[in-house]
Amino acid sequence: MTEFTILWIALPLFIGFSIPLLPSAARLLTLGIPLFSVAYATALFSRPAPLDLRLLDSFGVALWADQLSAWFILTNALVTAAVLIYSWDGPKTKFFYTQLLVLHGSVNATFICADLISLYVALEVVGMTTFLLIAYPRTDRTLWVALRYLFISNVAMLFYLVGAVLVYRTHQSFAFEGLRGAPAEAPALILMALLTKGGIFVSGLWLPATNTAAESQISAMMSGAVEKAGVFPLLRFALVLEEFEPIVQAFGVATAVLGVTYALAATDAKRVLACSTLSQLGWLLVAPAVAGFYALAHGLAKAALFLTVGQLPQRDLATLRQQPMPTALWLPLTLGGLSISGAPLLAGFGAKTLTLEALGPWQGMAMNGAAVGTAAVYAKLISLPHRGGAQTSSWPQVPLGLGLALGLLLGGAIAANVAYLDAYSGAKLIKALVLIGAGWLVYALLRRPAALELPAGPEAFEHLLGGMGVMLIVLFWMVWSWSIT
């Protein structure tokens, strides 16, 4: 397994940088890498014990791969494969495929890092390749959003590096366990950086504008896999260092509520999905032990939704209510929305049920409210009118690549439904349906007579930097007053 792991880490980089030499085989070479990741995730699921690989033991540099890693690796593999299939017949150059492979490999690396310095390197590569992919269309809008993302990401990682150095100076080790006993500044800096990188709470308000402005396949990649690279280390901290779990859960609840509030106020279909991603990342943090299944369920559904919305001729929901869309586009919107809402027979039902069961009383109350809000958000898309056949001939035809990508993603969401069959009891089914029904009722009440409006100021560039400062102060207070170190 050790040799398999080293090969699996190195192969995306090797193939990615070989693509310029073999441009005619770029698509096939790229497709092979996520398939290899599926095989690696399957091998991890079958292992009775986690893989513990010590690389530089004197510095605490190590890899740790377990079933939590396997869920995230599988999510990254399926989303990457779907994005590749979607782009297969498009005009993408070999540069796009190289960056896609490097991004896939670096995101995977964050899922098995067990030390602060390896994680820093992996996250920096994730940030740079994501910047290049957002900027790929070379429009004024995408260039500005890409530069904005790069600046926020680099500032966050600068804070992270200072925190990592403080940990090393205390223990002469970069191992995650070194956060225990380090000065309070160290965990505060590192947590703030990861919360920013993962798009969590107010320091993650860069996310809605970025995911909305990027190309649909890049939005699918970011929401389905990339943003989870910042969240995963927080889950690992909460599981390895139990004193960090209350902080991680508190930010998870706050993010779920904040994101769903922004999504309810959004009137652009793609922005609805982007704000919903903010909320769903919070769902991952509230129950670290079962976050892997939730990551898969969300990644598959959200990638399908972004790819589908990318086919709409315009995204204003009020206009879409006046123009029935083809049923071939409405159906994936509905299935993806129902899965994230927690409807039975889809992966989101088992994932949401498992998450709610793992919560304490106060977290459970807040997250049940967030679940109602999530159902209300997706009622916006599910309630859009649709027609089949010649009545929608003015709309563009659904490309074959989109159909295949949606088949992979939504087929995976249906198949993954069997991962938690204990959810299919009478009480749990009734609870899920009640939450969804309550959400649709909330949507009906909010739709008329007045729309919910939120100020755009907190998403402004200068306020994002201010938000990071506020988060750092709050985290320092939490770490210090909660006796974390």
- Encode pLDDT of 195-209 as tens digits: 999 989 888 899 999
Give me the residues paired with residue 54 across strands. 62
- How far, in Å, are 50, 77, 105, 301, 468 from residue 42 at the CA level? 13, 11, 17, 21, 38
Q: What pLDDT was estimated at residue 394?
A: 67
Q: What pLDDT was estimated at residue 57?
A: 74
The answer to whether 400 and 340 are in contact (CB under 8 A) is no
φ and ψ of 156, to 5 deg: -60, -45
The answer to whether 375 and 439 are in contact (CB under 8 A) is yes
* Residues whose CB falls within 8 Å of the CB of residue 224, separated by 6 or more in sequence, listed in order: 75, 76, 79, 298, 299, 300, 302, 303, 306
- How far, in Å, are 15, 73, 108, 282 from residue 33 at the CA level? 8, 12, 11, 29
φ and ψ of 92, to 5 deg: -65, 140
Q: How far apart are CA 203 and CA 171, in angstroms?
A: 29
**Dihedral sign (CA 445, 335, 385, 380):** positive
pTM of the full predicted structure? 0.94
pLDDT 10s digits, 71-118: 999 999 999 999 999 999 888 888 999 999 999 999 999 999 999 999
φ and ψ of 360, to 5 deg: -80, 180
List, for the chain, all residue ranges whose pLDDT scores fall below the cut of 70.
389-394, 448-452, 482-485
* Residues whose CB falls within 8 Å of the CB of residue 464, separated by 6 or more in sequence, listed in order: 148, 152, 203, 205, 206
The answer to whether 134 and 218 are in contact (CB under 8 A) is yes
- How far, in Å, are 104, 215, 305 from residue 222 at the CA level? 11, 10, 13
Q: How far apart are CA 424 and CA 319, in angstroms?
A: 38
Q: What pLDDT was estimated at residue 447?
A: 75
H-assigned helices in 47-113: 67-87, 94-110
Q: What pLDDT was estimated at residue 390?
A: 55
